[in-house]
Amino acid sequence: MAKKGVILLNLGSPDSTSFEDVRTYLDQFLSDDRVLDLNPIFRKLLLKLIILPRRPKQAGEAYDKVWTDEGSPLVVTSVAQQKLVQENTDTPIYLGMRYGNPSTESIVAEMKKDDIDDLMIIPLYPQYAMSSYESAVVELMEQLRAQGMAEINTVLVQPFYKDPQYIDALWESIRPSYEGSGAHLMMSFHGIPQRHVQKTDPSHDHCLKTKDCCNTPHPAHATCYSHQCYAAAYALMAKGGLHHDDVTISFQSRLLKDPWLKPYTDFEIERLAKEGVKKLKVICPAFITDCLETLEEIAMEGKEQFLSLGGEEYELIPCLNTHPAWIKWLNDKIERWET
């Protein structure tokens, strides 16, 4: 009889905020050609000569602002998610990080030791992107092959950006903070380079090349991060009865000088403040779990920017994290697979 297991996949975090640990993490993260998709020689030179000598100090200082007594917020919360899901099922629940620890490699070794031969894979990414969902899944599959588990049965959960139960859970987590607040709502998705959107378009002639491409039905939407962000936003707006004038959709965390998905979150915060918006609440629907990009970039930097421009109230509404509706979504998904 097959022995079932479930693995939750997330991005990861440095082991600590020290220069060396952050450097190790950034080296692994930015060496991924699905993240920094440059010529391999140029990427290596860019990392070794420019990014890795300088960036770890700056990133470490940012991590220091959000680090907890237990460690990285992303890892601590992810472990809490894993434990809560495990409480509701006899199927073993594993947690693997694409970068850092617990590494995908070490978790595959653990699953092999446990004789898992029927595996449900749940990437904790609502939308598809080559730098997140795709990279995590490819790494897992490569580790399964490398460790002699290539023949096991696998079921891969597809991006769930418009799954009704997920949208319900997301709205349930947002509603207490937002409803009746009179605030403008910003949906800040993690940004990606525009070229990533075009690379994941199998037709190579629709995404960012066709007018209103995100809203014009096309097979490319199955792997289009931009379309899936907007689709999730519109589904959430419909669920909450939100008017377009009360919502701003934006993209954060851009790096280097290449064009990324627009509009940029920091530009939109400035625009809203200058247009007289006084109350702003922000959600980050590309993330399931709060992390550096939400807790420092949005909750701290975003707040400082908004208030300095005349805004009066600003709040980051937490990600789903361990919200009961989200844990139920995971357990329901697992239960349907088990039966």
Sign of the four-CA dihedral 88, 94, 98, 102: positive
Question: What count of Cα atoms within 13 Å lies in the side-chain half-sphere of residue 146?
Answer: 12
Sign of the four-CA dihedral 80, 85, 90, 93: negative
Helix (H) or strand (E) holding 303: helix 303-308
Q: Strand 313-316 to strand 279-283: parallel, antiparallel, or no bridges (unpaired)?
A: parallel
What is the C-alpha to C-alpha distance for residues 31 and 45, in angstroms, rounded to an integer? 11
Binding residue numbers: 190, 293
Whether omega before 14 lies within 30 degrees of 0, making that bond cis, reads no
**List of residues 6+ apart from 85 with CB closer than 8 A:** 6, 8, 93, 327, 330, 331, 334
Helix (H) or strand (E) holding 315: strand 313-316
Binding residue numbers for Fe(2+): 190, 293
